Amino acid sequence: MKKLLLGNAAVARGAYEAGVRVVSSYPGTPSTEITESIVQYPEIFVEWAPNEKVAAEVVIGSSVAGGRAMSCCKHVGLNVMADPVFTVSYIGANAGLVFCVADDPGMHSSQNEQDSRHYAKASKTLMLEPSDSSECKEFTKRAFELSEKFDVPVFIRLSTRVSHSQSLVELEDREEIELKPYEKNIAKNVMMPANAVKRHVLVEKRNLELIEFAENTDLNCIENNNGKIGVITSGICDMYAHEALGDKVNYLKLGMVYPLPEKKIKDFAAMCDKVYVIEELDPFIEEHCKAIGVQVIGKDVFTMLGEYTPSMIKKAVLGEESAESISADEAIPVRPPVMCAGCPHRGTFYVLKKLGLTVSGDIGCYTLGAAAPLQSVDTTICMGASVSAAHGMAKARGDEFNKKLVSVIGDSTFIHSGITGLIDIVYNKGINTVIILDNSITGMTGHQDNPTTGKTIRGEATKQVDLVRLCQAVGIDYVTVADPFDVKNFEKVVKEEINRQAPSVIIAQRPCALLKTVKYKGHCVITDACKKCKMCMKLGCPAISLEGDAVRIDTTQCNGCGLCTNVCPFGAIKKED
Amino acid sequence: MSTFNIMIVGVGGQGTLLASRILGNAVISEGYDVKVSEVHGMSQRGGSVVTYVKFGDKVYSPIVDKGEADIILAFELLEAYRALPYLKKGGKMIINDQQINPMPVITGAAQYPQNIKEKLSQVCDITVVDALSMAEKAGNIKAVNVVLIGVMAKNTDIPYETWTDTIKTTVPEKFLEVNLKAFDLGYNSKQ
Ligand SMILES: Cc1ncc(C[n+]2csc(CCOP(=O)(O)OP(=O)(O)O)c2C)c(N)n1
């Protein structure tokens, strides 16, 4: 049966058919739906881990113990899992071990545009790159076979357009794979220097075997159209190139992007007068070609920035212009993402902005607190950095600066890697104030449960991390829970805590407005009492805008959360059913 | 060998994703190769969202380039205007007559362009529908997406039943009635 599947869902299907037993991941766009799709397969144990490092270790454990396992993350998630990944390269895989990583060229939802192929090279593992959903499924199954055959962890590299495009996939049955025997093997599984020294020798040997495999595998295929021009591609770029260039050129499509073949590339180049490498982001394949002495054209005509398109390729390779198009002859305002109507974070940032505080920010929906009109957030680096970076800021600039400084961090992000920063503050005598934005869910990535929500990925009830007691346990004596929509009280609490000569935590508690359990009713309206002071406009609520000089609330957008009624100094905003 | 290219544009949260999924599944039941490119993540939070549905004998790229969309289905006026460069010469725009102010307009940093419909009608073939009222009539303002699918369906050769069968398999049971009604209102609206 053929089915229309998202690339991510197809990876999940591949894992299912390959008899995978354990999947552990931390969400991250564009990888999240892989793990979410696993939920439909009761045969597989699946979980959201607190962070990518934990997830990687869980699946490594499963592999060592004999069960096929997979962990999925976004490109920056791979930075977090890098530590176990580099060493498990030495240990290898008892049962098939796969890490699926999704890059985000164009940064649709990311804080950087890193190219994860470098990790495969740096860790001396193996990396496959599918170009559509059908290959997503097939390559995932191949990844497990290769992992066991070569005793190597295997990466599957996706990119946003592969992860988030649907195409047809042929579904097959699950193969029930027996557990591999578990045997204690200290020389292979205990990576202390004496053992690791010996394993490194095997890693280098394995890498040569993988290169040999890359020369012969059908994952790397040549399509000879008797053209003068040759194109080397992989992943989504192969699709773009085929659309742009059709059968006018010859192709070498690399389904395996690390290690890369040598002879195959040379043979291909010998067939053509001129060879282009078409790859988004870094010149990874291009540099390999140049290193083995094959002259190719790559980043001198293609950009390292953002996503490619077929028309871009057509122009660069064939010199043909793209289709004619009409455009408006005036500036069209951009529409950046915003905090939703009813978002609990809006109350928090309204207060922080009003108090003029420096805000050490983090990653989540609340990063949008940096956007106009709130523009409250000062820094965003990576998950967890709000807490630790604020500690550094305070140590560099002193207590006076610290009195105007807070960290903001979401519940999921706090568990991911904020708690370690908080321990650092307590241990090293910081007096920072950390605001945990507890909206009862992992919001930005589309509503995943996490250890603070009391539910597993399958929606089963489980123990819930008690944030208050957790903070107290690491040594925070002042933990206050406050509702960010009660702006008066929230302001009072923030003022108190930033002036305290001790570290403190404020838990801003109010659930995400998009949660099904949140039922705001009716909507808000501006009454005649409005004095046009425009205080409510400072909230940056998408439902409130100016019409002429009158404020208007768009009832199709307003969900009746009532935050604006709390900030209006004249009580001129009323709720209606 | 060329494909039929549909581009769906709107504002994050308007349900463009479901619309593209219904479209994609209706198209495969007619035996075409198809690719649907979706948007997940950040821009779903009220930003501009773009999805593509391409079908034909064989589809390679999941994205639609400038000047290549046969139909643009726009859930919002400004987004329709923004998508104009993607329309193929002789292509058609189906536009929901709704204005949602983006933040730069709300903060006063930019102006919402005036008379978008008139400007568009001068340069391309447009159909404007009030999908919001139709969705309301069907019983839920969130069904705007399915109303628009209805309008768009009328512009294809795919039979009515294929669409309703697809809706039955893509939409959760409890919203089915509203959505079938919304589809019908869109399908039978004056164009
Ligand atoms: C290392 C890493 N992993 C994953 C992500 C993707 N990501 C961005 S925000 C976010 C979750 C934020 O959830 P939470 O902290 O609860 O805040 P909310 O969005 O709910 O406000 C995730 C998983 C990332 N940016 N970096």
**DSSP code of residue A416:** I
- Chain A residues whose CB is inside 8 A of the B14 CB are none
| Nearest residue by C-alpha to atom 20 in ligand 1 | A443
User: From the candidates A163, A332, A339, which should be mutated to test the interface with B, based on the most B CB atoms within 10 A?
Assistant: A332
Widest CA span of chain B, in angstroms? 49
CB-based contact (8 Å) between A557 and chain B?
yes
pLDDT-derived band at A268 (thresholds 50, 70, 90) equals: very high
Confidence of residue A1 (pLDDT cuts 50, 70, 90): confident
Structure confidence by residue, pLDDT tens digits, A198-211? 999 999 999 999 99
Q: What is the pLDDT of residues B104-154, one digit of tens each?
A: 999 889 999 999 999 999 999 999 999 999 999 999 999 999 999 999 999
CA-only gyration radius of chain A, Å: 27
Do A2-216 and A523-576 have matching folds? no
pLDDT above 90 covers a percentage of chain A that reads: 98
Ligand 1: residue whose CA is nearest its atom 21: A365
Mean pLDDT score, B73-84: 98
Residue A445 predicted with pLDDT over 90? yes
What are the tens digits of pLDDT across the range A97-121? 999 999 999 999 999 999 999 999 9
b vs e for A120-141, b when ≥16 Cβ sit within 10 Å of the residue's Cβ?
A: bbebbbbbbbbbbbbbbbbbbb
Shortest CB distance from A326 goes to which of B37, B44, B87?
Answer: B87
Give the residue on B whose Cα is nearest the Cα of A538.
Answer: B107
Write down the domain spans for chain B: 4-99+114-187
CA pair distance B164, B143, nearest whole angstrom = 14
pLDDT tens digits along B11-63 = 998 999 999 999 999 999 888 999 999 988 777 889 999 999 999 999 999 99
Whether residue B2 has pLDDT greater than 90? no
Which CATH architecture fits A523-576? Answer: 2-Layer Sandwich (3.30)
Q: Tokens 């920056």, residue?
A: A76
pLDDT of residue B20: 94
Average pLDDT, stretch A363-374? 96
Q: Which fold has domain B4-99+114-187?
A: Pyruvate-ferredoxin Oxidoreductase; domain 3 (3.40.920)
A242: chain B residues, CB-CB within 8 Å: 60-61
Flag whether residue A33 sits within 8 Å of chain B, measured between CB atoms. yes
The DSSP-derived string for B114-168 is S-HHHHHHHHSEEEEE-HHHHHHHHT-GGGHHHHHHHHHHTTSSS-HHHHHHHHH
Give, as one character, the DSSP assignment of residue A452. T
Q: Which residue of B has its CA nearest to A111?
A: B42
What's the gap in Å between A558 CA and the centre of ligand 1? 26
For the stretch A393-407, pLDDT in tens is 999 999 999 999 999
Report domain extents, chain A: 2-216, 220-318, 345-509, 523-576
Name the percent of chain A in helix, strand, coil, to the closest 5: 40, 20, 40
Q: Which residues of B touch A30 (CB under 8 A)?
A: 40-41
- With helix as H, strand as E and coil as C, how does B43-61 read? HHCCCEEEEEEEEECCCCC
Pick the residue from chain B with its C-alpha nearest to A447. B41
Buried b (16+ CB within 10 A) or exposed e, A502-536: ebbbbbbbbbbbbeeebeeeebbbbeeebeeeebb
Question: Which residues make Cβ contacts (< 8 Å) with residue A478, sequence separation at least 6?
Answer: A497, A500, A502, A503, A504, A505
Give the distance from residue B72's alpha carbon to the nearest chain A alpha carbon, in angstroms: 13
Beta carbon of A28 within 6 Å of any ligand 1 atom? yes
Per-residue model confidence (pLDDT) at position B1: 54
Assigned superfamily of A345-509: Thiamin diphosphate (ThDP)-binding fold, Pyr/PP domains (3.40.50.970)
Residue A92 Cα distances to A11, A62, A203, angstroms? 22, 12, 9
Residue A88 CA to chain centroid, in angstroms? 22
**A353-363 mean pLDDT:** 98
pTM, rounded to two decimals? 0.97
What CATH fold (topology level) applies to the domain A2-216?
Answer: Rossmann fold (3.40.50)
How many angstroms separate the CA of residue A421 from the nearest CA in chain B? 26
In this prediction, residues A76-94 reach a mean pLDDT of 98
Predicted pLDDT at A318: 97
Overall fold of domain A220-318 = Rossmann fold (3.40.50)
The reply to whether residue B38 touches residue A165, judged by beta carbons under 8 angstroms, is yes
